[in-house]
Amino acid sequence: MLHQIDLELRAGCWTAVVGPNGAGKSTLLRAIAGLLPCSGQVELLGRELHDWPRQQRARALSWLGQNQSAADDLTVHDVAMLGRLPHQSWLAPASPADLAAVERALRQTQAWDWRERALGELSGGERQRVLLARALAVEAQVLLMDEPLANLDPPHQADWLLLVRELVAAGRSVVSVLHEISIALHADELVVMRQGRIAHHGACHEVATQRALEQVFEHRIAIHALAGQWVALPVTSVT
Ligand SMILES: Nc1ncnc2c1ncn2[C@@H]1O[C@H](COP(=O)(O)OP(=O)(O)OP(=O)(O)O)[C@@H](O)[C@H]1O
């Protein structure tokens, strides 16, 4: 349940949504995606979400859900091709543009070599990279990702960070729910949530944003500058 949400997300930038378990992060993302009924108003790229024709909206907004399901017997290539559905006519074969987008997306997540394997044969992290490829294959203007780093090892987390930077440099907007606070601190903006409300919304490098972040986690993390980056370290000492 969310309360009194008034949030405007900047286009062409990466916003990370952070906060404790149960704070409402996934609910907020689902509301932005139009996947939840809500009493307020959600606008996408300046237009009321429900006024968008379905296909246009599906092309404009890509969604990577938390623990997203997909048929385990589909090949990796077929799963990524599902991302092209908004671009395809009913029962029409994949176009050269669809095939090129799928190849690009699978290469971006280093999943191209498994393209003939069944999704069900993959490890958790490998599977997540295929689902990420499916979201990328949409080539949407806005990407919403709920815990995209789930099961990814550190090198692939770093790759995801670079990928998001590339998407933003190309003018796309990315909104991601993240538990990896040190990764989230690389975002342009943070939405800090607690108990169904937005506790703070601001630039990652601002002191007020970082203090809000420490506060919602009850000062069990502390944010430090290290090797030119902001990092969140666990606070284990009891005062
Ligand atoms: N389908 C549902 N029906 C009823 N309550 C729900 C449902 N989904 C989530 N909630 C409740 O809404 C609140 C916010 O949940 P949400 O999943 O948005 O939190 P979150 O911040 O994403 O948490 P987490 O970090 O644990 O994934 C929680 O108290 C949760 O119990």
The pLDDT tens digits for 83-130 are 999 998 877 889 999 999 999 999 999 999 999 999 999 999 999 999
Check if the beta carbon of residue 214 is closer than 8 Å to that of residue 222.
Answer: yes
pTM of the model: 0.92
Tokens at 226, concatenated: 């290290």
CA of 170 to the centre of ligand 1 (A): 33
d(CA 84, CA 101): 8
> 200 is in which domain, residue-wise?
1-45+143-239
Within this chain, do residues 115 and 29 fall inside the same structural domain, yes or no? Answer: no
Within this chain, do residues 167 and 135 fall inside the same structural domain, yes or no? Answer: no
3 state DSSP class of 193: strand
Q: Pocket of ligand 1, candidates 27, 191, 195, 197: which has the most ligand atoms within 8 Å of its Cβ, to mutate?
A: 27
Within this chain, do residues 159 and 222 fall inside the same structural domain, yes or no? Answer: yes
* Ligand 1 atom at shortest distance from the alpha carbon of 23: 21
Residue 214 CA from chain centroid, whole number = 22
Farthest-apart Cα atoms in the chain, separation: 65
* Residue nearest atom 25 in ligand 1 by C-alpha distance: 21
* Residue nearest atom 26 in ligand 1 by C-alpha distance: 21
ipTM attached to this prediction: 0.94
Within this chain, do residues 148 and 38 fall inside the same structural domain, yes or no? Answer: yes
3 state DSSP class of 2: coil
212: Cβ contacts below 8 Å, ≥ 6 apart: 192, 199, 200, 202
* Ligand 1 atom at shortest distance from the alpha carbon of 177: 22
The pLDDT tens digits for 173-199 are 999 999 999 999 999 999 999 999 999
Q: Please name the residue that has the structure tokens 């990652």.
A: 204
Q: Is 204 inside a domain boundary?
A: yes
